[in-house]
A = this chain, B = another copy of it.
Amino acid sequence: MTPMINTLYLPELREMLANNDTQGLKEFCEALHHPYQTAEFMEGLTAKECWDVLRCADMSDRVDIFLYLPWEKQVEMFETGDPKEAGEFIAFLPPDDRVDLLNELPDEISERIMQMTPEEDRHDIQRLSQYDENTVGAIMTTAVAKITENLTPREAVEAAKKQAEEMETIYYLYVVDEEDHLRGLLTFRELICSLGKPDIKVSDIMERNLITIKPTEDREEASMLVAKYDVLALPVVDDEYHLIGIITHDDVMDVVLDEAEEDAQIAAGVSPLEDDYLDSPIHTIVWKRGMWLVILFIGAFLTAFTLNSYDEQLSKCIWLVIFVPMIVSAGGNSGNQSATLVITSLTNGSIHPYDVLKVLRREILIGLSLGCILGLVGIVYSLGYSSVNPGVPWYQVCVILPTTLILVVLCGSVIGAMLPLFFSKIGLDPALMSNPFVAGIIDVMGLVIYLHVAFFFLPGLH
């Protein structure tokens, strides 16, 4: 767990800044284990002070430390910094990060910075910014180590060495022709093993059949491929099989963590937040939650409608009402369980939409078993309840409550499992549509079942 803003070095840093102690600041930037830690100690500084400290460091340290500063601080530094300095600095940032950064800035600031950016980098930025937020293109980097197939292993090592400073990974060397068509992949491991073998070319040892992805595909698709094939990076190619970028394992890790968070929020009926909870404006959170609360609330009105249609019978038999929330929640809980099991299995690929009959059979068995268990607890309740409420017909309570519980839990389990499968089949994100709706639908269903069971065993009410 990260500590609160770390103020340990803050006084020293401020003193060095005041004394213009360039050497001291440079040493600070180089001294710590990892740029992450240097960045952590700088969290208490203002955006301007951050520029002043970083200016003293070598460019590679400067980039590393900057990338580990909190996202809001990075944005603030670019918003308030000198456009010329920012424009020159941005040329050294990884292609994917700088696009994200520029997208976050107000248009006039990002334009001013872009004017100060070297032409080649500017083109690269423009090319990457065209991809939508959740696509492969938006998370890929264009800094790919490339070699040609006629090199010897020794020449390939030299070529990699030249690119080592700038590229995100040099452990996968992509083999391309003169027009940048992807021809193959040479892992550094393979390359090292072939060093010293005479008369060997890259084309003899490269892997030709590669798993690739298009820049317009969903970033989740890319992360699934990386997880499945355990690769360090995935090449991104266009329709003509030009190599235009790679997705690296650390980008994928961020995607996986992001998506898990989004799925959890969606399952709770919150439209995923773009920023951290504490950094999101109140009105944004109210909008992202309120939208769903209102939709679910309108759905819940169906329960009121249902109860209202039976109000005469209910007023004759008020003890029925006592158990309504309990029964509704038992159905909701079992439905939520099934929905979540099916959604997580769809996500990890262990269930497919066409497994519907297998899932149905299992959920009927599971729902019946769970219903019987709750039914047994229900009988104990009923006996207890009747004993302290002598006016209530105990034998009827003891039949109505367990019967209802069995049916409600059974239907809850089955509906909870089927809805995500159905949504997945018609091409909607099961996570998006299932949990909150499942709860609403099962609430109404639970009520209808309860009332019908009750009226069946209490014929006098009709």
* Interface hit among A9-17, A75-83, A237-245, A339-347: A339-347
Q: Please tell me if the beta carbons of A282 and B337 are within 8 angstroms of each other in the complex.
A: no
Q: Please tell me if the beta carbons of A296 and B333 are within 8 angstroms of each other in the complex.
A: yes
* A462 within 8 Å of B (CB atoms): no
Given contacts A33-B211, A307-B321, contact A278 B348 (CB under 8 A): no
Q: Please tell me if the beta carbons of A318 and B329 are within 8 angstroms of each other in the complex.
A: no
Q: Please tell me if the beta carbons of B311 and A318 are within 8 angstroms of each other in the complex.
A: yes
The residue that A311 contacts in the complex, of B171, B322, B366, with Cβ under 8 A, is B322
- Copy number in the complex reads 2
* A294 within 8 Å of B (CB atoms): yes
Q: Please tell me if the beta carbons of B210 and A33 are within 8 angstroms of each other in the complex.
A: yes
Contacts of A377 in B (CB 8 A): 294, 297-298
Measured between C-beta atoms, what is the minimum distance from A151 to chain B in Å? 15
Contacts of A189 in B (CB 8 A): 164, 170-171
* A409 within 8 Å of B (CB atoms): yes
CA distance A210 to B321 in the complex (A): 64
Contacts of A63 in B (CB 8 A): none
Q: Please tell me if the beta carbons of A337 and B293 are within 8 angstroms of each other in the complex.
A: yes
The residue that A278 contacts in the complex, of B324, B329, B345, with Cβ under 8 A, is B345
Contacts of A33 in B (CB 8 A): 209-211
CA distance A265 to B343 in the complex (A): 10
Residues 262-312 (chain A) with a chain B CB within 8 angstroms: 263-265, 267-270, 273, 276-279, 282-283, 285-286, 289-290, 292-294, 296-298, 300-301, 303-304, 307-308, 311
Which are the 7 A-B pairs with shortest beta-carbon distances? A260-B260, A268-B340, A33-B209, A276-B350, A303-B325, A315-B318, A230-B250
A-B CB contact pairs (8 Å), 13 listed: A1-B352, A33-B211, A164-B193, A188-B188, A226-B253, A227-B257, A279-B350, A282-B369, A286-B366, A293-B409, A297-B329, A300-B325, A301-B381
